[in-house]
Amino acid sequence: MRTAEIRQYGLPALRILAVAAVYYGAARLGLLQQLVRGQVTPLWPPTGVALASLLVFGPRIWPGIAIGAFLVNVALGPSFLAVLAITAGNTLAPVCAYLMLRRANFRVELDRLRDVLALVFLGALAGMLISSTLGSGVLLLAGALDTGEFWPAWSVWWTGDAMGVLVVTPFLLVLRRARWPRDVGGGRWIEAAVLLLGTLGATLLATSTASSALLFLVFPFLIWSAFRFQLAGAASCALGVSTLAILAAARESGPFAGHDLFANMVTLQAFNGTTALTALLLAAVITERNETHEEIKQVCARLAEMVAHMEPRDWRDPDR
């Protein structure tokens, strides 16, 4: 009886606490690159953690999201009621995104084009309107934001939460299913290492040069990752590229030097959004193509087997 009680109550409680801890840790990392009032960042990893947790463990995990969001915001203020309202928005946004994705028959494998499109439009763009609107409105009412700062704060909050979903959620879903590859030759490992180093090198070069045109250097590597390593490679490369771009924007270096906050946010989020979309959409299309090819091979093999087992017939004998 005790073992059954532990399984019924203990494991869910541990999962909730684990989600709260990971959410809090991801939030502390995100706040290192805050741009507005110490609270709003261009990439908010906790939204990705929250949505991935809901997709994996189900809606009962929402208290972990609420606990993590409260612990993060209680130290930021501006008041206890404002903290509660912001916590509610940070919890409702991923929960609503999860419900919309479930309604759209979303699959966590992200192996279909429709799943990627659902994650983009329902999970990221639509779902995160809740947290950005409620959070920015609360800061405005509490006096932490001036009237003229509302829309810049709202835009950074919304795009930051959306980028968290687009960049972090796919990576966590891939990480959950990651297994040590077997029967993989040395050439494959070399290719993965070259891809990783090339992606990092191209991103560092693009984000350290004043010309924003060099940002497009990373896209051949994203295409390479999607074609050769599907979602695992695409999600990992997109996360690395976006992180390095955000660090450059926070330092106001490279293509982000000499511009105001709005111009840098437009450049950064357009680049991060294009990066994530390119990687994820290509990975989904390639995965669908590979699965269709395998299905056709299996059908052809079954047909060949059926033909081989058919009884030979002499077509010259009309009685047979």
Tell me: do 8 and 46 sit in the same domain.
Answer: yes
Position 51 in a domain: yes
Among candidate residues 179, 213, 243, the one where a domain is terminated? 179
| Residues, the chain | 320
Structure tokens at 318: 């009309």
Written as one letter, the residue type at 73 is: N
pLDDT tens, residue order, the chain (320 aa): 466 655 656 788 899 999 999 999 999 888 877 655 555 678 899 999 999 999 999 999 999 999 999 999 898 777 889 999 999 999 999 999 999 999 999 999 888 899 999 999 999 999 999 999 999 999 888 888 888 888 888 888 898 899 999 999 999 999 888 777 777 778 888 999 999 999 999 999 999 888 777 888 999 999 999 999 999 999 999 999 999 998 888 788 888 888 777 788 888 888 999 999 999 999 999 998 888 888 898 999 888 888 887 756 555 555 55
Q: How many domains does the chain have?
A: 2
Task: Determine how many CB atoms are found less than 10 A away from the CB of residue 94.
Answer: 33
167: Cβ contacts below 8 Å, ≥ 6 apart: 43, 48, 238, 239, 242, 272, 276
Measured distance CA(247)–CA(12) in Å, rounded: 36
Burial pattern 49-71, b for ≥16 Cβ within 10 A else e, equals bbbbbbbebeeebbbbbbbbbbb
Please indicate, yes or no, if residue 257 is contained in any of the structural domains.
Answer: yes
Rounded (10°) angle between helices 219-251 and 186-208? 40
Residue 78: is the preceding peptide bond cis (ω within 30°)?
yes
Looking at the DSSP assignment, which residues form a beta bridge with residue 36?
A: 40
Under a CB-based contact definition with an 8 Å cutoff, are residues 51 and 97 in contact?
Answer: yes
- Cβ(145)–Cβ(171) below 8 Å: no
End-of-domain residue from the set 122, 153, 179: 179
Tell me, what DSSP letter sits at residue 40? B
- H or E stretch covering 51: helix 45-57
pLDDT at 95: 97
How far apart CA 180 and CA 87 sit, in angstroms, is 38
- Taking the C-alpha atoms of residue 221 and residue 196, their distance in angstroms, rounded to an integer, is 9
- pTM: predicted TM-score of the whole model, two decimal places: 0.88
In this structure, are 168 and 198 located in the same domain? no
Report yes or no on 159 lying in a domain: yes
| Residue ending a domain, choose from 153, 179, 205 | 179
| CATH code (residue 38) | 1.10.1760
